[in-house]
Amino acid sequence: MFSYIICYDLCEGKKRYRDLWRFLIALGAQREQRSVWTLQTDLFDLESLRCCFTYVMSEKDKIQVHAVSCK
């Protein structure tokens, strides 16, 4: 099981985050703070997650995905 912290830069306008939030909820992520979510999964590796988030979000939005632990 892999544990990730997903954080992203906040920009003006919440509409642009709706797709991201739906995606995170579908993955089973938990919201910790306004722009920080945690995710435990054995389905994706870090690079796959980056690819998914790049696809979901527009190029203007920067998303940082950090692996924090691996069990």
Q: What is the pLDDT of residues 11-67, one digit of tens each?
A: 555 555 676 778 788 888 888 887 777 877 776 666 666 666 655 554 445 555 544
Alpha helix stretches (DSSP H) within 1-71: 18-27, 46-56
Query: pTM for the full model?
Result: 0.56
pLDDT of residue 70: 36
| Short-list 53, 58, 19, CA closest to 66 | 53
Query: The domain 2-70 is classified under which CATH number: 3.30.70.240, 3.30.70.1150, 4.10.640.10, 2.60.220.10?
Result: 3.30.70.240
CB atoms within 10 A of CB 24: 19
Structural domain spans, the chain = 2-70
pLDDT of residue 38: 80
Q: Which class for 56: exposed (0-12), middle (13-18), buried (19 or more C-beta within 10 A)?
A: middle
